Chains A and B, each alone.
Chain A
Amino acid sequence: MSDTPRFPIESGCPDGFQYLHPSMKKNFGAWAYHERPRPGVLRHVAKSGDEIWSVRLGTQRQLGPYEINLLCDIADKFGDGYIHFTIRSNMEICVSDPAKVEPLIAAIEEAGYPVGGTGPSVTMISHTQGWLHCDIPGTDASGVVKALMDELYEDFVTEKMPNRVHITTSCCQINCGGQGDIAINIQHTKPPKINHDLVANACERPSVVARCPVAAIRPAMVNGKPSLEVDEKKCICCGACFPPCPPMQINDSEFTKLAIWVGGKHSNARSKPMFHKLVAAGVPNNPPRWPEAAAIVKTILEAYRKDALDWERTGDWVERIGWPRFFELTELPFTKFHVDNWKGARHSLNASAHIRF
């Protein structure tokens, strides 16, 4: 550190307006309509008649100076020098001259980046940090996403799905990856293993006890030292105790599994926003390619692609055809674990004679 500390300039969130493409500045709040001329390209037309073409490309999310300069060089040479990032870490390079679109796409593809992710495609997977940087991950995130996007490459660069597919991965049950049409999340299957020698020094015990959603953790004296104990019958293996108390190790090389969830969406379009629901569990956490998880994701995507109507999201589709048909079409096993037993579970049970045969 320097000798005389410098006080920070608390400027907060920078004004995005200063970095807007001139056409976006000029037509701010005055756009008329948009089209998708081809996968990965959006054409927005302003009320003034101006156009802006956005070319969307998939990235590895973690970029170094080489990738940043490579993509910025393309944006400078073939685009207009402006870049926008989507919430799913896709990059968009925008131009106002339609003649620039094809050369821009060619340059991006030549550099090895896929153009796509618009409309009814499988867009980039939103993900967390995993083993690269997180302190509580049960799996990796960048690796799972790279392995899956290799498998789903064609579905990124084409628009052949009934509607958009948002996939998310989360490397613990806190679920930072978010809700997805398909979510691949860690599911711990065994209670935490406690290193009693470390608990007294490393944990604020009352807050660990308070953190447990099912009151399975109690203070206890172990080997003459203050520690904690877990009622293993009550424990739901959520891992909430691990972040404030690392000696309560929840991750396990064998029993930390993956689970797959389906039907989450945040858009209000057609149906109200929905949470994703469990469809498969016990999936091995199997680096570096996670083939078992990839196979289930592809099975679900294929069933959705074949059976859903245009504009139906996975959640809309399952609501229409019903869960029994979903398990029939995907050939995934239906188990007692699919029946919710948490607070308010009765709302998720079938209280009607509505049955399809």
Chain B
Amino acid sequence: MADTPKNPERHHTFLPKDKKSSKDFHSTPNLDELEKGPWPSFVTGLKRLAMEEKFGNMVVDLLGQLEHSYNTRLGYWKGGTVSVFGYGGGIIPRFTELMGPDHKPLFPECKEFHTIRVQPPAGNHYTTGMLRQLSESWSKWGSGLVAFHGQTGNIMFIGTDTENTQHFFDDINAYGWDLGGAGPCVRTGMSCIGAARCEQSCANEMKIHRLLVNNFIDDMHRPALPYKFKFKVSGCPNDCMNSIQRADMAIIGTWRDDMKVNQEEVKSFVADKGRKYVIDNVITRCPTNALSLGDDDTLSVDNRNCVRCMHCINVMTKALSVGDDKGVTILIGGKRTLKIGDLMGTVLVPFMKLETEEDYEKLTELAEEIIDFWAENGLEHERCGEMIDRIGLVNFLEGIGVDVDPNMIASARQSSYVRMDTWEEEADKWNQRKAG
């Protein structure tokens, strides 16, 4: 450790003097390197756990296997099948593949090292009491090691054997926690801090998050879909939850009336920062040139051309804010690389009002249509976005009963190689929709 802590008993580098686990530490010169430097070290954390009486030997061997990975630059875990009674998923089973010459595990104490995925509260809010209670249960039935949070949003309780998996789940399930998803199923959702602390929130993120996920709870606990399906909710187009790139169905808060401008605050911002700063950092950064600074230091906004990108509101937090007519934009089909490359979510519903219970019901129904259609038509291991890539957006829209909208495209068709026998019918549909 670089510096001697001033209060070793209350410091992240603290190691207890007594080692209660019975197994001796393996030599870990590579991992020891990661105890140096100013950033808190997970290796020191693992060593502390390895000194505990219960599960200490498991973590001693985990450190041994991890060091072996650092030496050989290869991983040694394989999956398997472990679940709790009544569920089909939610556990990430891990069995060691690292065998000695006698074909027995080289690090036997961690030959089983499963992770339990648990859904965090919407918005990732905790009380210290809740955190301590979860941590205590995990120290009782598992290694004690918890990741806040995995990339899908779950609390990851890392490291226990098959039997204790059930005990831990029984424990925490009794006081209000439930498993997340793993495998081909609806996955744990994520939502930003939103209306709880952010003035830019245009939606009740926690409500949307819980409504969608809990509506599909059977599809989460009993994996039977083509592949994973993720919901993520962001309260504004800053998209702090990265829903557009990481969620099959992204819900992003927005508004459709005029952005709010407090001209007195604009003036004081200009007085404080200077006209050049405001022109260079606000006016010219508007992607649609919708802003103009008046000679009297007031701001005018061409709201018809504002694309609600959030930049000016992010810079002038006191002077500018989102409008009153709030709702959400819904995008479909975002995902990570495997297998046809990264896909960005595509606009499905440009604006949906979420005020009444009927509005929320419409949102749930839309999600049901999408998941049903994809479950019927997606290939094995095919994400919803990949299916849309294969069958085309129009076929997908017809499958789920949503009309085309010019907000769905970045540009209109460029290829003339298309049959258009039903042009008149389609034009009529548009005219009728416009009229009705």
Contacts and interface: CB of A to CB of B under 8 A. Distances in A.
Interface of A: 1-2, 5-21, 24-25, 28-29, 31-35, 44, 52, 54, 58-70, 72-73, 75-76, 81-87, 89, 91, 94, 110-114, 126-140, 142-143, 146-147, 149-150, 153, 173-179, 207, 210-213, 238, 240, 246, 251-254, 256, 264, 266-271, 273, 275, 285, 287-289, 309-311, 342-343
A271 B287 contact: yes
A273 B149 contact: no
Interface in B358-402: 379-381
Contacts of B11: 110-112
B87 interface: yes
Nearest to B44: A60
B381 A66 contact: no
Contact of B128 (A13, A82, A114, A132): A82
Given A33-B199, A174-B336, A150 B188 contact: no
Contacts of B130: 19
B42 interface: yes
A266 B239 contact: yes
B239 A16 contact: no
Interface in B183-222: 188-193, 195-199, 201, 204, 206, 209-210, 213-214, 217-218, 220-221
A305 to B, nearest CB: 17
B334 to A, nearest CB: 9
Nearest to B246: A178
B43 A146 contact: yes
A35 B317 contact: yes
A293 to B, nearest CB: 14
A192 B189 CA distance: 34
Interface stretch (B101-109, B115-123, B349-357, B416-424): B115-123
B193 A267 contact: no
Given A87-B241, A132-B158, A343-B340, 8 more contacts: A13-B214, A17-B122, A68-B135, A84-B197, A86-B124, A211-B339, A287-B30, A309-B280
Task: In the A-B complex, list the 3 residue pairs whose CB atoms are closest, starting with the nearest.
Answer: A150-B37, A12-B214, A131-B69
Interface residues of B, number: 139
27 contacts: A5-B86, A8-B87, A8-B169, A8-B173, A9-B174, A12-B220, A19-B127, A24-B197, A33-B199, A34-B199, A54-B197, A59-B40, A59-B148, A60-B45, A64-B144, A68-B146, A82-B127, A85-B149, A136-B75, A174-B337, A179-B245, A207-B381, A251-B73, A266-B243, A271-B287, A288-B34, A289-B33
A267 B237 contact: yes
A129 B193 CA distance: 25
B123 A16 contact: yes
A149 B87 CA distance: 38
B412 interface: no
Most A C-beta atoms less than 10 A away, residue of B62, B128, B177, B242: B128
Contacts of A86: 124
Contact of B34 (A1, A13, A147): A147
B244 A273 contact: yes
Contact of B127 (A54, A65, A83): A83
Nearest to B205: A16
B39 A153 contact: yes
Contact of A75 (B121, B128, B174): B128
Contact of B70 (A131, A137, A252): A131
B195 A12 contact: no
Contacts of B132: 68-69, 72
B219 to A, nearest CB: 11
A175 B239 CA distance: 19
Nearest to A57: B40
A64 B339 contact: no
Given A44-B199, A84-B124, A114-B39, A176 B69 contact: no
B78 A135 contact: yes
A44 B10 CA distance: 30
Given A12-B119, A82-B126, A150-B39, A7 B149 contact: no
Contacts of B36: 150
B14 interface: yes
A311 B123 contact: no
Contacts of B150: 129
Most B C-beta atoms less than 10 A away, residue of A54, A85, A285: A85
Interface stretch (B18-26, B297-305, B307-315): B307-315
Given A65-B144, A207-B381, A135 B75 contact: yes
B13 interface: yes
